[in-house]
């Protein structure tokens, strides 16, 4: 491992240790139990020496009985301290893991949308699951092994040399071979376990991506291809794991063999020493006992080194997320406001998701007075949804400025600002829970009466009440138990319940059937009074009653006016309108009515700029 990586790994573990500070008293108590447990374990061979030399060899049965009683008492204490240290390690370790997971999730929710477009969802989930589990193994199991085995190893060496220097020297003769093998093992283990952590992240990412898109996979009969992709990353993961198995399969049997060599040397040399009367049988037995206290910790610590490497790689990935600074769009701090008027101005606004991708918005100038209902129309890729995302401050303009009530949007506290903005997308996201919980998302403490009052004002209370369990109807992730139209209605209710001063509807009626759409349009005319509204739509029947219609093409505003006026200009809006309605054999419908829109078979589209 390079010096830089060693320093980075050391720094990562220092940061992990900082999470223990809040539980330092419990941690110190646990370490004390580990020390006591180690002392009890090391006392065993020494008590055997006393029993053999001063009890059995001397024929003193009373002393032998005392040693046996002490041996049992020490074993009982060892069991007690073992239980206490196990409880203590888990108590501290699980809390540290909980705190780290909370911090990680809290930080993830603060990152800008650009981060999520750069990282696969499965990679992010792997940080919260696989990597956290690797750290949990280190904290709960590895920390106890590290302390007890290190103390046992040091204690065994000290005791061996204190009993007989020459015999201890013979025992240590295998140490150079052991150290050389350990160094080689550790060097290769670093790379092997880093590959394992990377591979398991790939497996999680592919799994999440294909299961989330299972409908598309099945609709396009891509099951075989998906299985092929998963099989490849799964095989790569298997090979990465097998590399660690090969390393372990070569190293640990070698340690066992060296332990056997050391035992044979002790028996040969120590046996001669006993025969010459230089040492007692008790000393020889104790040496053999302490030999396991020497080699077992070496083997355990080497095994622990694998865990440390795996956990270290996981910790580095977790810290890389925690060290990711939120983009400018998500930086907290700034002006707070209890209410917005909703006056919106864009001066020379340009935006590109990536430099190499080109600009999605190109020097857009726009003013929307407070309370005005504006519709954005245009072909897919024109920049409509991008403009909405800038108003939501999901992104910052690459050039120009967005003003809300005459103040640069970047000067507002982003959390405070978004409390005054309602947003309904084409495919609304519902969380697991009840319909009631999803509607009162902005104020979870609100009661059913408040939610129903908002639904009544919106004109959809009867529809929501008619669900199987009414407002208590449980929905699964993304609202899978509800129809597309029902999900959209819940999203409308959720947005209106927040009482926003600015309302952004991104193709928000595309999933609603014609009858429901008609009810929503009449409700919207009441609810949008005094609110600034930006309505993005492909179905032009839904924008005819807007105060203004803005037509966008290639990131620019090409037309701006009312429905009737734009039709008479025979420009882009008129062409869109006729292409959508007149070409479908609906000539003769009135421009002011919505019959064409209600019976139009215009497919749903996603504005994915």
For residue 517, name the pLDDT band (cuts at 50, 70, 90): low
For residue 4, name the pLDDT band (cuts at 50, 70, 90): low
For residue 80, name the pLDDT band (cuts at 50, 70, 90): very high
Spatial neighbors of 579 by CB under 8 A, at least 6 apart, are none
> Quick count: other Cβ atoms within 10 Å of Cβ 298?
19
Distance CA 208, CA 219 (A): 18
Average pLDDT, the chain: 82
> Angle at CA 321, nearest 5°, toward 320 and 327?
115
Strand order in the sheet with 502-506: 421-424, 502-506, 532-536, 373-377, 548-553, 556-561
Distance CA 314, CA 129 (A): 10
pLDDT digits (tens, 9 = 90+) for 112-165: 777 877 777 777 888 888 888 888 888 888 888 889 989 998 998 898 888 888
Please say whether the dihedral angle defined by the alpha carbons of residues 541, 542, 547 and 551, taken in this order, is positive or negative: negative
pLDDT at 378 over 80: yes
For residue 526, name the pLDDT band (cuts at 50, 70, 90): low
Token reading at 138 = 């280190």
Q: Look at the block and give the residue holding tokens 């990412």.
A: 205
Mean pLDDT of 404-423: 89
Helical ranges in 164-222 per DSSP H: 165-171, 175-212, 214-219
Q: Look at the block and give the residue holding tokens 């006056």.
A: 343
Distance CA 108, CA 554 (A): 33
Distance CA 502, CA 506 (A): 13
Mean pLDDT of 4-16: 72
Q: DSSP string of 172-183? A: GGGHHHHHHHHH
For residue 606, name the pLDDT band (cuts at 50, 70, 90): very low
Token reading at 140 = 């709960």
The answer to whether the CB of 122 falls within 8 A of the CB of 336 is no
Q: Quick one: how far is CA 472 from the chain centroid? A: 29
**Looking at 346-350, 447-451, 475-479, which range is the least confident one?**
475-479
Token reading at 121 = 């969802």
The answer to whether the CB of 63 falls within 8 A of the CB of 55 is yes
Report the SS3 class of residue 308: helix
The answer to whether the CB of 460 falls within 8 A of the CB of 453 is no
The continuous run of DSSP H or E covering 475 comes out as strand 474-475
The answer to whether the CB of 463 falls within 8 A of the CB of 470 is no
Burial 497-506 (b: 16+ CB within 10 A, else e): bbebbbbbbb
Spatial neighbors of 605 by CB under 8 A, at least 6 apart, are 380, 507, 510, 538
Interhelix angle 61-110/24-50, nearest 10 degrees? 150
Mean pLDDT of 392-398: 88
pLDDT at 280 over 90: no
- Comparing 501 with 457, the larger pLDDT belongs to 501
For residue 69, name the pLDDT band (cuts at 50, 70, 90): very high
Spatial neighbors of 91 by CB under 8 A, at least 6 apart, are 23, 26, 30
CA nearest neighbour of 596 among 583, 605, 609: 583
Spatial neighbors of 368 by CB under 8 A, at least 6 apart, are 343, 344, 345, 374, 532, 534, 548
Mean pLDDT of 380-402: 89
User: Can you give the pLDDT at residue 34?
Assistant: 94
- Comparing 68 with 599, the larger pLDDT belongs to 68
Spatial neighbors of 553 by CB under 8 A, at least 6 apart, are 378, 379, 382, 572
Distance CA 513, CA 479 (A): 18
Burial 460-486 (b: 16+ CB within 10 A, else e): bbebbeebeeebebebeeebebbebbb
> Quick count: other Cβ atoms within 10 Å of Cβ 530?
10
The answer to whether the CB of 489 falls within 8 A of the CB of 463 is yes
404 — phi, psi (to 5°)? -125, 120
> Angle at CA 154, nearest 5°, toward 41 and 175?
115
Question: 339 burial class (0-12, 13-18, 19+ CB within 10 angstroms)?
Answer: exposed
**pTM of the prediction?**
0.70
CA nearest neighbour of 166 among 64, 247, 284: 284
Distance CA 531, CA 551 (A): 21
Mean pLDDT of 22-28: 91
Residue ranges of domains in the chain, CATH in brackets: 9-325 (1.20.1560.10)
Token reading at 601 = 């078979």
pLDDT at 586 over 90: no
Distance CA 128, CA 144 (A): 24
């Amino acid at each position: 491992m390079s010096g830089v990586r060693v320093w980075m790994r050391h720094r990562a573990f220092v940061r992990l240790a900082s999470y223990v500070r809040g539980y330092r008293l419990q941690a110190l108590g646990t370490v004390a139990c580990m020390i006591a447990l180690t002392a009890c374990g090391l006392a065993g061979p020494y008590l055997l020496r006393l029993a053999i030399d001063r009890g059995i060899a001397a024929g003193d049965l009373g002393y032998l009985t005392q040693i046996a009683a002490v041996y049992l008492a020490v074993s009982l204490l060892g069991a007690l301290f073992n239980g206490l240290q196990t409880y203590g390690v888990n108590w501290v370790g699980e809390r540290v893991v909980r705190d780290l997971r909370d911090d990680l999730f809290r930080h993830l929710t603060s990152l800008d949308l650009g981060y999520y477009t750069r990282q696969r969802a499965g990679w992010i989930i792997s940080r919260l699951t696989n990597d956290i589990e690797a750290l949990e193994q280190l904290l709960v199991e590895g920390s106890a092994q590290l302390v007890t085995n290190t103390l046992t190893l040091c204690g065994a060496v000290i005791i061996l040399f204190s009993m007989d220097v020459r015999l201890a020297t013979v025992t240590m003769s295998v140490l150079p071979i052991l150290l050389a093998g350990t160094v080689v093992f550790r060097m290769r283990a670093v790379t092997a376990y880093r590959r394992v952590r990377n591979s398991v992240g790939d497996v999680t990412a592919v799994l999440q991506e294909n299961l989330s898109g299972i409908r598309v996979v099945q609709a396009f009969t891509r099951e075989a291809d998906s299985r092929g992709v998963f099989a490849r990353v799964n095989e790569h993961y298997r090979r990465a794991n097998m590399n660690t198995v090969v390393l372990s399969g070569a190293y640990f049997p070698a340690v066992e063999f060296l332990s056997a060599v050391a035992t044979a040397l002790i028996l040969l040399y120590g046996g001669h020493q006993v025969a010459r009367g230089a040492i007692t049988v008790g000393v020889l037995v104790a040496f053999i006992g302490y030999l396991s206290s020497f080699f077992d910790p070496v083997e355990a610590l080497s095994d622990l080194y694998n865990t440390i490497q795996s956990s270290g790689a996981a910790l580095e990935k977790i810290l890389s997320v925690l060290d990711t600074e939120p983009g400018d769009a998500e930086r907290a701090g700034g002006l707070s406001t209890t209410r917005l008027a909703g006056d919106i101005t864009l001066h020379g606004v340009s935006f590109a998701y990536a430099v190499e991708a080109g600009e999605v918005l190109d020097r857009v100038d726009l003013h929307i007075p407070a309370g005005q209902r504006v519709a954005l129309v245009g072909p897919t890729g024109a920049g409509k949804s991008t403009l909405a995302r800038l108003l939501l401050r999901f992104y910052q303009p690459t050039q120009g400025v967005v003003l809300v009530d005459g103040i640069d949007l970047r000067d507002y506290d982003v959390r405070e600002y978004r409390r005054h903005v309602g947003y309904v997308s084409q495919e609304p996201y519902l969380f697991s829970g009840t319909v009631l919980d999803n509607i009162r998302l902005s104020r979870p403490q609100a009661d059913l009466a408040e939610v129903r009052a908002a639904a009544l004002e919106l004109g959809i209370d009867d529809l929501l009440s008619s669900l199987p369990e009414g407002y208590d109807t449980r929905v699964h992730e993304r609202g899978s138990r509800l129809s597309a139209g029902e999900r959209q209605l819940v999203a409308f209710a959720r947005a209106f319940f927040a009482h926003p001063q600015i309302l952004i509807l991104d193709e928000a009626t595309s999933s609603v059937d014609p009858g429901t759409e008609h009810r929503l349009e009449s409700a919207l005319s009441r609810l949008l009074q005094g609110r600034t509204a930006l309505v993005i739509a492909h179905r032009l029947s839904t924008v005819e009653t807007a105060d203004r219609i803005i037509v966008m093409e290639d990131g620019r505003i090409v037309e701006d006016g009312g429905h009737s006026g734009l039709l008479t200009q025979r420009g882009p809006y008129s062409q869109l309108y006729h292409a959508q309605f007149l070409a479908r054999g609906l000539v003769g419908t009135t421009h002011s009515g919505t019959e064409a829109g209600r019976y139009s078979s215009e497919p749903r589209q996603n504005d994915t700029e």
